[in-house]
Each structure stands twice: as structure tokens, then as C-alpha cells.
């Protein structure tokens, strides 16, 4: 069963706008990661947030984590056409031996 569920499933915005994607999960976690997948390619790691962190930044990316609600959000500010991709959250939970379980992904389209 999927640990992470993401919404929206698809998001279409204009260049320059901000994009927000959400991820919910079911069990306690060690950390949560976000990955990007361009069409027809493998996934690329974007950012990791640990269970004792609430917010993390990397360039135009901002990730928040609310362990009480078992949810995370990924914000991409000032989006560009090159940000068009699918975005996945992945969780690493205690007792899982490091296995990452992925959500179903959000498909982001940024129109120029």
C-alpha cells in the first residue's frame, strides 16, 4: 500500500506563479524526501526533511513538515517552464530498514 498520497494529482500554472504540492502519509517517519521526474527520465532527489525539522529551503524550494498532521508540502516559488515535471514524496519510516515508499506524484505543468 502507498505510504504517501499527494494532491493535487495535476497542477497547471503560469510561469512566475508559485506551485504548492502536498503529501500525506500514514505512519511515523524518520524523514521525508521530494523527488522530481522529467518525462521519460529517472527520478532526481530534490530535498530531504527530517522528522524533527519543520521547514527547509533549497533555492526556490521550500518544504514544510507537520508530523502531527502527517503531512508535508513542497512550494516552488517563481516557477519556470523548466519546472514542468512530476513531483513525488517518499517516506522512510522506523523499522523499515531504510526502504523508501513513494507517493503517486503530482504532475506540474508550467506554461510560458
Asked if 13 contacts 19 with a C-beta cutoff of 8 angstroms, the reply is: yes
Per-residue contact track with other proteins, 37 to 76, x per CB under 8 A? ---xxxxxx--x-x--------------------------
33 near other proteins, judged by CB under 8 A: yes
Burial class, 29, CB count within 10 angstroms (exposed 0-12 / middle 13-18 / buried 19+): buried
Q: What is the CA 85 to chain-centroid distance, rounded?
A: 12
SS3 per-residue string spanning 59-98: CCEEEEEECCCCEEEEEECCCCHHHCEEEEEEEECCCCCC
Nearer to other proteins, 1 or 68 (CB): 1
Of 29, 76, 101, 108, the one binding other proteins by CB under 8 A? 101
For residue 81, the minimal CB distance to other proteins (Å) is 22
Rule CB under 8 A: is residue 112 a binding residue for other proteins?
Answer: no
Q: Which residues bind other proteins (CB under 8 A)?
A: 1-2, 4, 30-31, 33, 35, 40-45, 48, 50, 88, 90, 92, 95, 97-105
Amino acid at each position: 500500500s502507498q505510504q504517501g498520497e499527494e494532491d493535487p494529482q495535476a497542477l497547471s500554472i503560469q510561469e512566475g506563479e508559485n506551485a504548492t504540492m502536498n503529501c500525506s502519509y500514514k505512519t511515523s517517519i524518520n524523514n521525508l524526501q521530494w523527488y522530481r521526474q522529467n518525462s521519460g527520465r529517472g527520478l532526481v532527489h530534490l530535498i530531504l526533511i527530517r522528522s524533527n525539522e519543520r521547514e527547509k529551503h533549497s533555492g526556490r524550494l521550500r518544504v514544510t513538515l507537520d508530523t502531527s498532521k502527517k503531512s508535508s508540502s513542497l512550494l516552488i516559488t517563481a516557477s519556470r517552464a523548466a519546472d514542468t515535471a512530476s513531483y513525488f514524496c517518499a517516506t522512510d519510516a522506523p523499522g523499515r530498514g531504510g526502504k523508501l515508499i513513494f507517493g503517486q506524484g503530482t504532475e506540474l505543468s508550467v506554461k510560458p
